[in-house]
């Protein structure tokens, strides 16, 4: 019998759940936490998960033990989030790839050219708009503790350098399974190909897609320079991440332990943001050294991409509300 990848992943998630223990009165027991992470241990996610673990371990007398499943060890992010809902995965740090499929309002942060810079994005996510969206994850059966980040997304591909929207015409570009991103690349005339992350490297190697888009934190840690020739520093969209725990885990904790987990999440976010700040400069040098051909979109070139997105923006206004989008843009 041949098992599908989804069935194998489902079985792995079930096994991780079976290995873990959660339930009432967790404060008295040793609790095993499985962390599912799409990126490598030395990535922004790895650094954040390690910091989170350190804070919890230091403040709970070893009552919680952690096991990391990096590099998509428990499958794609959609499967991991479903595992968190079921309680078979205790904790994760995920991108906004499939988040809006669980809480549609979260997709507003995936709108291209919404944020001016990292500081603007961090202010909005840490402020009332971002915190309100975090709370809505409660209705989706999970506890969203904080917004982290990956940085701004850039395009890599094997077909050509990109300077104008014409250069992405027909480009088979892997996107996340994210309707807001897909709409943008359709508007630009590319051929967006939504795909779960664990499939991406082999699809690039086999040439079934020409390129993909991700922040430098991912492009460097996933060694995309080994399978991609061109990098365009397009910064076309900010890429938030979210620190989530399962309700089963959360509701079994004492209020004191919940506070420690919140503190750990907040220190993890600080570590992740430091990582992103560093990789924004060191990453470009590293990828140049790896032989990638790198170009940066100028302000005028970015404006041309923004112009091509005018139709998509009309739909974003309809979906998320023009007032909210304007409020985010106006945040200082
Ligand atoms: O492109 C994605 O799917 C995400 O950015 C990734 C690489 C899984 C990190 O969360």
What's the CA gap between 300 and 308, in Å, rounded? 13
Strand partners, 246: 142
Residues with CB under 6 A from ligand 1: 38-39, 77, 95, 97, 150, 176, 197, 214, 218
| Residue 85, CA distances (Å) to 91, 139, 221, 246 in order | 10, 11, 28, 6
* 175, 182 contact by CB (below 8 A): yes
Residue 272 domain boundaries: 5-330
Both tokens assigned to 221: 């840690």
The CA distance from 210 to 197, in Å, is 15
Return phi, psi of residue 244, to 5°. Answer: -130, 145
Count of residues making up the chain: 332
Q: What total of structural domains would you count in the chain? A: 1
Nearest to 274 by CA among 91, 83, 48: 48
pLDDT, the chain, mean: 93
What pLDDT score was predicted for residue 186? 98
Which residue has its alpha carbon closest to ligand 1 atom 4? Answer: 95
Cα 214 to ligand 1 centre (Å): 7
271 contacts 46 by C-beta, under 8 angstroms: no
- In the structure encoding, which two tokens stand for residue 160, read together? 């050509």
The tens digit of pLDDT for each residue in 224-277 reads 999 999 999 999 999 999 999 999 999 999 999 999 999 999 999 999 999 999
CATH of the domain at 307: 3.40.190.170
SS3 234: strand
Give residue 10's pLDDT band: very low, low, confident or very high (50, 70, 90): very low
Quote the pLDDT of residue 248: 97
Q: Using only the alpha carbons of the chain, give its radius of gyration.
A: 20
Substitution site in 45, 181, 214 for ligand 1 pocket (most atoms within 8 Å of beta carbon): 214
pLDDT for residue 114 is more than 80: yes
Instruction: State the closest ligand 1 atom to the C-alpha of 196, by its place in the atom list counted from 1.
Output: 3
Instruction: Supply the pLDDT for residue 29.
Output: 74
Mutational pocket test of ligand 1: of 39, 154, 156, the residue with most ligand atoms within 8 Å of the beta carbon: 39
Q: What is the pTM of this model?
A: 0.92
């Amino acid at each position: 019998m041949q098992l599908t990848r989804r069935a194998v992943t489902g079985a792995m998630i079930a096994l991780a759940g079976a290995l873990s223990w959660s339930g009432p009165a967790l404060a008295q027991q040793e609790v095993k936490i499985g962390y599912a992470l799409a990126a490598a241990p030395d990535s922004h996610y790895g650094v954040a998960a390690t910091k989170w673990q350190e804070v919890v371990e230091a403040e709970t007398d070893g009552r919680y033990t952690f096991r990391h499943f990096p590099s998509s060890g428990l499958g794609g992010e959609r499967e991991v989030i479903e595992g968190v809902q079921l309680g078979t995965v205790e904790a994760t740090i995920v991108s906004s790839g499939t988040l809006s499929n669980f809480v549609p309002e979260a997709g507003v942060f995936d709108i291209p050219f919404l944020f001016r810079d990292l500081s603007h994005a961090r202010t909005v996510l840490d402020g009332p708009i971002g915190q309100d969206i975090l709370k809505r994850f409660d209705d989706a059966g999970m506890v969203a503790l904080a917004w982290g980040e990956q940085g701004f997304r850039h395009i890599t591909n094997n077909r050509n350098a990109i300077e104008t929207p014409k250069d992405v015409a027909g480009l088979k570009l892997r996107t996340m399974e994210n309707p807001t991103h897909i709409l943008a690349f359709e508007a630009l005339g590319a051929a967006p190909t939504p795909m779960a992350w664990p499939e991406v490297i082999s699809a690039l190697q086999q040439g079934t897609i020409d390129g993909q888009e991700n922040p430098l934190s991912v492009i460097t840690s996933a060694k995309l320079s080994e399978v991609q020739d061109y990098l365009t520093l397009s910064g076309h969209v900010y890429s938030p991440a979210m620190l989530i725990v399962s309700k089963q885990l959360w509701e079994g904790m004492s209020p004191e332990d919940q506070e420690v987990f919140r503190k750990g999440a907040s220190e993890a976010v600080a570590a992740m943001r430091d990582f992103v700040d560093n990789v924004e400069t060191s990453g470009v040098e590293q990828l140049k050294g790896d032989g990638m051909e790198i170009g940066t979109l100028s302000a005028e070139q970015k404006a041309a991409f923004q112009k091509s997105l005018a139709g998509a923006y009309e739909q974003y206004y309809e979906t998320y509300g023009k007032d909210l989008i304007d409020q985010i843009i106006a945040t200082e």
